[in-house]
């Protein structure tokens, strides 16, 4: 199904009914509204104006649209900020981040919680039973614009309280963090300082706790909203629209509050954001890289425990990347189908009509700026709606052969302590995902501690801290397990595990890591044996009491195996990574298709989808029965057939 | 005529008379003094010491020098800053910019206006009728060192007042800016915040107004000084010395206050400042690019409504660029002649003698540091003076065949909203100027709304907001008009015009822009048809109800024409730009000379000047009568002949 | 002899005795302790706990270890910072640098001096006569993490006082700095502002004085500690552990307080810090560049007036560089021997055991993290200890044939006023050192004004300010003297010398510098004559009343000679620099060996050491008698023979 994001407050009331009619006519069934409208809903403190939204909801519902209502907490109004400046966030340099855009609040402020609860209560009381309402969105894009963390006095106080709960006593905290190191010992929790603006780097244990604290706060803040919504709006589901490549907080924990996950898919904008090479950036500039959207679909399907939407789908060029090209013709349709292939229940475009004012003037909509005329993306969306009607209901997603364990705290740990400037966990995960998808395989993301039974192959690119649940899940895995570098290299207090890394994983791996090297660009260590290629960026010096499948030039283990558990002791270059995946799928006896760089497959029930990001065409396998498309899939086109 | 900048306060009084004699002897007729001397003129508040300046003025005048006196407002003294810290400017991060260099004041401070008026009043009362005085310079290099804008509380208050005058009511402001967008609505003008230090970007409409507000303030501040000077010093002209490549405020508006414009010409320093490629930077490092000085001469001739000086001419290496080479032998002479060829009334060197102390120790003068011995540049200046005497009075500049419309607010708009990181308006203008000058043509700069009649060709590289006067001027143009990308793409409130870009220009162009793409380095769109080359950086998707002369690969219009108005729908690469200029001059039936990259021509009355930036020599046309130079113009040399 | 850095406070008391035994067993004689333990020695103000350190000292002494005790002033504890926030330093942007790491204090704070004196008094009273104690280390790594300077109100006040002492009256200061330049004149010393956060650059004379002021403060602070230690601990020597490539304060002045110098040798970490090319960085990433450690050994031998230690020797990978590779096998041994070859009395490894907690988790130790098992570096140290025992006592270092004059204030001057962005004094000195060492020669560093008699060749890469002592020392030199660019180009008040550069050196050089050019990367000026190569980065325009040995393309002097004094008028490229050294050693009749890029020699008494940084092997001269190693010196190996 298709949806759209709409802002009735942006357009004269006279236009609403026509907008709603045109949405329905082009095949849109869902509409998201309201998430930035606080200043129109509450003009001054306790001076509410719901009349316009009443009329807007009625107009949309009367046209047959199903409404998703956003809580407006991403945009606290000026009167609130002025009355309560303690809600404002601070950047890492201690500078307040002021009013005038959005997300200008810190999750650490008790005032902010109280005020957020108040407006969510009001809005949900008013609309919780509206017949057009099918679901809620909490807030908007948590963490966007670097807002997971804040570095002010409110944050310091809330962090100190969080630490008091975690460690109980200051001696425990001093011991856990190793504060004796540079006479950093604290006398009480009042002594806790923000882990920033120190002369040289602060204690990484403090930084990791600070990050975890902020991540916890988001999950708690979200749960607060969910509790109110559930109370006031029975029978409606709740989601949140996550962003892409933001790993600053643990999305799985927020997902636990929700009925389904959703995310905002800007495949082209993300090409500038992800650390691709310039060659790759140029290659994928106008289509996106074929794994960017897919990676997030699979991630958020997991965050939503099987259920997800695309809440905002890029419908044309955007405004916020360093460069903003026009997508190649066909890409809006392709992205929409691809989301559905990965299991999305609804793909909702952002936004109905391009705004001719304010910050997003250069962000395309389904309609041209200020007008009632479909844009290129709008016409592709309409075409997709017609195709969807033809194809009919899509079958459910099935469990995939491959699981990828994604761990947010490892992103924080490696960001705090990269040890080599280019050790980027998100990049490692993405490259492993890309390599296995190049073999035509579907992937489920699994959170640490999630059930791994039934997967033929479990990929763990890196998991620095391995708690008991995660260990047990790995022990219980009945397929092959591939562990990447740095796994098990920190304990829960961010210390090197006693007995050395991989700490609790040692029994599984049969290895002990005695030294690690980060390798500057240009340095590499050759790997030979069962695999060949090279280590770049990171290499471990390992003692192995188990089978060694590949080794470095000096004979040290590069790849080891103990029963079903493989360990890779480096960051693999492209060749080594591809080789590793080949070996694993053969070992796991998985059926694979070697795909070119620009084509990907995805199954949903008995349907198989092929997506061609171009520029060359691609031939579907012989003898299949096409449901959509032709046997020679053109660039920026797709095909669907039954397995 | 030649002049020089002199600082009597820097040297013992015994040396003044000899300095003055030596100036006259080497052919200097004008001397600028006083613009940094506040702390010597007013030792403490209201404790004035004019005696030394009396003697200095008399000494210079007695030697036969004509004096230009600068108001000293670029350097408020310590006692003033201490008494009135509200005059200090703030940077964009909210940090005060303190005492200890120069330009440490914000134009928003009412105290600063009052104090500036007071010192200008005093100085002009004292010297307004001095027989040696021929003119005044207001302040020094407005905007230099990023001082157009300031971001403190004084600025916020003044901005709020400016907005109140502009919008009358807060509802109008909210509507104009589209503040409903993210609940950014303001309740009153007291709510106005500085458009900075927000979580993500502030409203571009607010930023553009903030920029315009600061630009207006400079023009008003300058007019305040001019009013005082005119009252106290009848019969003397007034100028201001503008800088190069500073487009932060509208120079045309300041120019309206002045009798003539002047500018500070540092051709080599600007090579590091302008976004040239490294190859170009190396090529022009020791001579400057052959269009840098010329571009500014033509700009400031327009700002001065036909009259301009070079107030500071680089006489050798400077101190403030990232690298500071020694100019090639001959360049000081060449730059001097070139300024005159473009219509400069006086070329005044900065400075008489290299300072052996303080910030500019590495800035060459006409004399060696602290000494009475001419430097290389000093010797070239003396040689130029002799040549000037030989050549005699230069005829007046004539109207040029080509006009280039330069629009400061477009620089602000594209800086605020580049949409592609390398969309730089100043660069676009410069490249269009360079391309047409490579064909041997002279160019007049024209401000938006300025009279375009009589020009065979009008170039408008980009004009984002087109007001009624600008539109009328374009309609009235009787030559060919070439409009560049993004023209007409914002209305006066920084909104996308209703009916889509080019808004008010649509009737002239016959086009409608439905999408725009910014293209990262490495991406390009091929253009074929009447022109060939490629679009880089920027491409528009256009519907044309008129003739299409060139198209992109997908058949879309790249160049359109409606009657005398051409529209280019992209940022042209070098090939496309050169091709476009060729087409235009042929169409306009202009006589051209194809010049190599290092040679430029310029006419003044019936004289033709050729300037050779080297390294190869260049042959003048056959059969002409040389007034200066030889028929084979050597590198770093020039020739003059009669048309 | 070998030593180690140990932190009893980091490990359970039960482990101390075993640690001490194992140290002794592997050949370690010295142990440094205590320098970060303030929070364990003084739990709250005046609440001391010396019991644990009593026991630790006894345990170590009883095992036969000689103890070096560090004063703990690098790590003021939380209670002290909270009681006296005026001890905190401020960065150049005015931001306080807070508690949570180390070195969070400014040398300008009187409170900080008082508190430092108090703890040094206490600790030295307690342990000054301990039988195990052989020496003291003051503080730890002065200047590390950019802590030489601080930019707060305490610093402003202390700077004003320092200026009052230096200049006596404000008129003298205004005159010396040339404050008239931009009306920057001050009325009294209360007016003195920090030379930062100005609109454009502050007066370089003020900046240079500010730098000198901070440098002086460190020397004074150190002397304060030394005075207390000498009073309370007779018969023990005092050192300080300097860092590498930190030239922010004058190490010679601190050295004057000390009995011997020491430094912290991290040869691999420094490869990322020094401005090498990427090609060089990759080449030397896993061994270090063969001159990095040697350069510092020679420097600190001079700072210690002949006596120095390596207080911290890198024993494996570290944690603080951008990338941190594992050293090639053999390097820990090689570095140790190399330090000894340059005259080190003790090489002390940092640290005994890798910490499994806090900021330096990735910093190797002689033992694996948290364990009693030697690391690779630990095993190499043990091997080196055995070899040392075999070789026996090493003879004393002799005076070298070559002196290099190193001048800290020149580093400050060129940093403040580079004039070309890549004029880096440290780099120039290092390259001259490298070039002469490639000829197999040993080098002594000499401070400005130090005795230069007896050296065959004196290299002065640059000395901007030449005081009377320095001038006299150069006049008295009886070998050849080679002066580099910019020498003598500023007087003591940071003015261009009257009569132009090289000011006081003119009589020695017979030259006068009239212009200087900085050359951007890509520009160069060819040099021919007695030398060939090219000037890069910097070129001077010189008038020479003396012999010209080489010239630039335009015939100007590039190298001049007057009697025994040579002057080079540019920054030499690699070819020109090598050529220059060849010419000089021939002229000086020095016996040389042309070494490949990866091999270096060093003599100590009658022993000759060869160090091979690899990757190729190197053959020792024929007919020599090896004491250690073989005639074909493998990569990362060394050889010793008797001269
Ligand atoms: Zn969004
Ligand atoms: Zn100037
Ligand atoms: Zn250290």
Do the Cβ atoms of C100 and A522 come within 8 Å? no
A16 annotated among ligand-binding-site residues: no
> Which pLDDT tens digit goes with each residue over A155-177?
999 999 999 999 999 999 999 99
Quick one: what percent of chain A has pLDDT higher than 70? Answer: 100
Is C95's CB within 8 Å of A179's CB? no
Q: Give the ligand at the shortest distance from the Cα of A144.
A: 1
A616 CA: distance to closest CA in chain B (Å): 17
Residues ≥6 apart with Cβ < 8 Å to A330 = A380, A635, A636, A637
Residue B378's φ and ψ, nearest 5 degrees, are -60, -40
pLDDT computed for residue C277 by the predictor: 97
Q: What are the residues whose beta carbons fall under 8 Å from the beta carbon of B520, sequence distance 6 or more? A: A272, A281, A282, A285, A322, A323, A325, B420
* B518/chain A closest Cα distance in angstroms: 5
Inter-chain CB proximity B104 and C202 less than 8 Å: no
Catalytic, B115? Answer no
Q: State the pTM of this model.
A: 0.97
A418-463: pLDDT as tens digits: 999 999 999 999 999 999 999 999 999 999 999 999 999 999 999 9
Ligand 3 centroid–CA C428 distance in Å is: 26
Interface mutation vs chain B, best among C207, C208, C490, C515, most B CBs within 10 Å: C515
Query: Does the pLDDT of residue A643 top 90, yes or no?
Result: no
B35, B42, B115, B141: the catalytic one is B141
pLDDT in tens, B274-330: 999 999 999 999 999 999 999 999 999 999 999 999 999 999 999 999 999 999 999
**For residue B80, pLDDT beyond 90:** yes
CA of B504 vs chain A CAs: smallest distance (Å): 16
> What is the model's pLDDT at position C643?
87
C272 neighbourhood in chain A, CB within 8 Å? 520
State pLDDT tens for residues B41-67. 999 999 999 999 999 999 999 999 999
Respond yes or no: is residue C563 known to be catalytic: no
Average pLDDT, chain B: 98
Main-chain dihedrals φ then ψ at residue B106, nearest 5 degrees = -110, 140
Percent of chain C with pLDDT over 70: 100
Crossing angle (nearest 10°) for helices B376-391 and B331-341: 40
CA B366 to each of CA A283, B315, B370: distance values in angstroms, whole numbers, following the listed order: 55, 6, 11
Cβ distance of A203 and C100 shorter than 8 Å: yes
Q: How confident is the model over C70-100, as pLDDT tens digits?
A: 999 999 999 999 999 999 999 999 999 999 9
| Per-residue CA distances from C467 to A13, C197, C488 (Å) | 82, 31, 9
Task: Provide the percentage of residues in chain B whose pLDDT is more than 70.
Answer: 100
pLDDT at A108: 98
Mean pLDDT over residues A183-202, rounded? 98
| Ligand 2 centre distance from Cα of residue B241 (Å) | 8
Of B10, B95, B368, the CB nearest to C93: B95
Distance C440 CA to ligand 2 centre (A): 51
CA distance C515 to B369: 10
Contact state of B205 with A103 under an 8 Å Cβ cutoff: no
- Contacting chains of C (3 CB pairs or more, <8 Å) are A, B
The model's pLDDT over C571-582, given as tens digits with 9 standing for 90+, comes to: 999 999 999 999
pLDDT digits (tens, 9 = 90+) for A336-355: 999 999 999 999 999 999 99
Q: Do the Cβ atoms of B356 and C182 come within 8 Å?
A: no
Say yes or no for a CB contact (<8 Å) between A77 and B179: no
Q: Give residue-wise pLDDT tens across range A600-612.
A: 999 999 999 999 9
Chain A nearest C-alpha distance from C6 (Å): 12
| Ligand of minimum distance to the alpha carbon of B263 | 2
The dihedral sign for the CA sequence B300, B303, B306, B308:
negative
Q: What is the pLDDT of residue C612?
A: 98
* Cα A536 to ligand 1 centroid, rounded to whole Å: 36
- Residue B643: the pLDDT is 87
Q: Percentages helix, strand, coil for chain B, rounded to the nearest 5?
A: 35, 20, 45
Here the tokens at position C567 are 């002057």
Indicate the pLDDT class of residue C456, thresholds 50, 70 and 90: very high
Cα–Cα distance, B506 to B528 (Å, whole number): 24
At residue A268, the pLDDT reads 96
Q: Which residue of C has its CA nearest to B370?
A: C498
What's the pLDDT band for A554 if we cut at 50, 70, 90?
very high
Task: Say how far apart CA A443 and CA C326 lie, in whole Å.
Answer: 36
pLDDT, position B436: 98
The yes-or-no verdict on residue A270 having pLDDT over 90 is yes
Contact A355 B185 (CB under 8 A): no
Q: Does residue C230 carry a pLDDT above 90?
A: yes
Give first-to-last CA distance, chain A, whole Å: 23
Which of C178, C201, C523 has its CB closest to that of B325? C523
Instruction: Pick the residue from chain C with its C-alpha nearest to A176.
Output: C357
Give A50's contacts (C-beta < 8 A, 6+ positions apart). Answer: A41, A126
Do residues A561 and A410 touch, judged by C-beta distance below 8 A? no
Binding residues of C: 102, 140, 320
Mean pLDDT on C506-518: 98
Size of interface B-C (CB pairs under 8 A): 164
Show the domains of chain A with their CATH numbers.
2-149+218-391 (3.20.20.80), 402-587 (3.40.50.880), 599-642 (2.60.40.1180)
Task: Give the distance (Å) from ligand 2 centre to CA of residue B379.
Answer: 21
What is the DSSP annotation of B463-516?
-SB--HHHHHHHHH--SEEEE-TTTT-B-TTSSPPTT-TTGGGHHHH-EEEEEE
What residues of A act catalytically?
141, 312
Contact residues, chain B, for C193 at CB < 8 Å: 98-100
Burial of C151 (0-12, 13-18, 19+ CB in 10 A): buried
Distance C246 CA to ligand 3 centre (A): 13
**How much is the average pLDDT of B454-482?**
98
- pLDDT at residue number C308: 98
For residues A98-121, give the mean pLDDT.
Answer: 98
Cross-strand bridge partners of residue B639: B610
The stretch A28-55 carries a mean pLDDT of 98
Show the tokens assigned to B197: 């230090």
Pairing of strands B30-33, B241-242: unpaired
- The DSSP line for A51-96 is HHHHHHHHHHHHTTPEEEEE--TTS--HHHHHH-GGG--B-TTS-B
Tokens of C261: 């110098």
A108 with A158: CB under 8 angstroms?
Answer: yes
Give the mean pLDDT of chain A.
98
């Amino acid at each position: 199904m298709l949806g759209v994001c709409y802002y009735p407050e942006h357009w004269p009331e006279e236009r609403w009914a026509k907008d709603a009619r045109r949405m329905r006519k082009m095949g849109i069934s869902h509409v998201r509204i309201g998430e930035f409208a606080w200043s129109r809903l509450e003009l001054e403190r306790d001076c509410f104006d719901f009349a316009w939204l009443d009329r807007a909801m009625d107009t949309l519902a009367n046209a047959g649209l199903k409404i998703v209502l956003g809580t407006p907490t991403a945009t606290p109004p000026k009167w609130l900020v002025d009355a309560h400046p303690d809600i404002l966030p601070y950047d890492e340099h201690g500078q307040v981040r002021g009013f005038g855009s959005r997300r200008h609040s810190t999750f650490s402020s008790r005032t902010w919680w109280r005020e957020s609860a108040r407006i969510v209560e009001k809005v949900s009381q008013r609309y919780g039973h509206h017949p057009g309402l099918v679901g809620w969105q909490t807030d908007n894009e948590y963490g966007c614009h670097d807002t997971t963390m804040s570095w002010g006095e409110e944050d310091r106080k809330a962090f100190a309280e969080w630490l008091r709960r975690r460690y109980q006593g200051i001696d425990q905290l001093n011991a856990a963090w190793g504060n004796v190191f540079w006479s950093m010992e604290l006398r009480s929790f009042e002594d806790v300082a923000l882990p920033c603006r120190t002369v040289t780097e602060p204690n990484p244990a403090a930084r990791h706790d600070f990050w975890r604290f902020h991540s916890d706060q988001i999950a708690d803040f979200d749960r607060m909203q969910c509790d109110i919504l559930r109370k006031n709006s029975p029978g409606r589901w709740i989601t949140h629209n996550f962003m892409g490549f933001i790993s600053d907080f643990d999305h799985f924990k927020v997902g636990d509050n929700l009925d389904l996950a959703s995310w905002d898919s800007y495949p082209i904008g993300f090409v500038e954001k992800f650390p691709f090479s310039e060659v790759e950036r140029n290659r994928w500039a106008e289509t996106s890289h074929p794994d960017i959207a897919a990676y997030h679909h699979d991630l958020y399907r997991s965050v939503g425990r099987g259920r997800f939407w695309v809440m905002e789908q890029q419908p044309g060029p955007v405004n916020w990347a360093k460069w903003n090209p026009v997508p190649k013709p066909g890409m809006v349709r392709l992205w929409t189908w691809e989301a559905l292939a990965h299991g999305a229940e609804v793909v909702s475009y952002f936004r109905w009509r391009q705004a001719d004012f304010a910050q997003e003037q250069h962000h395309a909509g389904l309609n041209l700026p200020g007008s009632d005329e479909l844009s290129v993306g709008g016409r592709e969306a309409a075409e997709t709606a017609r195709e969807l009607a033809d194809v009919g209901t899509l079958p459910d997603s099935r469990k995939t052969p491959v699981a990828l364990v994604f761990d947010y705290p490892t992103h924080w740990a490696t960001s705090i302590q990269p040890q080599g400037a280019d050790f980027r966990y998100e990049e490692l995960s993405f490259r492993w995902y890309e390599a296995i998808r190049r073999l035509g395989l579907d992937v489920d993301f699994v959170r640490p501690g999630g059930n791994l039974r039934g997967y033929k192959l479990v990929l763990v690119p890196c998991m620095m801290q391995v708690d008991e649940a995660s260990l047990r899940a790995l022990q219980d895995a009945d397929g092959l397990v591939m562990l990447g570098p740095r796994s098990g290299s920190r304990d829960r207090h961010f210390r090197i595990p006693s007995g050395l890394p991989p700490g609790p994983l040692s029994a599984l791996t049969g290895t002990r890591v005695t030294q690690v090297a980060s390798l500057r660009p240009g340095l590499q260590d050759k790997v030979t044996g069962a695999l060949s290629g090279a280590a770049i960026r990171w290499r471990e010096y390992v003692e192995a009491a188990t089978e060694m499948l590949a080794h470095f030039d000096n004979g040290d283990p590069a790849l080891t195996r103990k029963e079903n558990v493989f360990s890779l002791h480096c960051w693999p270059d492209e060749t080594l990574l591809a080789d590793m995946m080949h070996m694993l799928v053969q070992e796991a006896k998985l059926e694979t298709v070697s795909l070119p760089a620009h084509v990907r497959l995805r199954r949903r029930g008995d349907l198989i989808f092929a997506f061609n990001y171009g520029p060359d065409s691609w031939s579907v396998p012989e003898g299949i029965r096409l449901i959509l498309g032709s046997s020679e899939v053109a660039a920026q086109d797709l095909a669907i057939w039954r397995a």
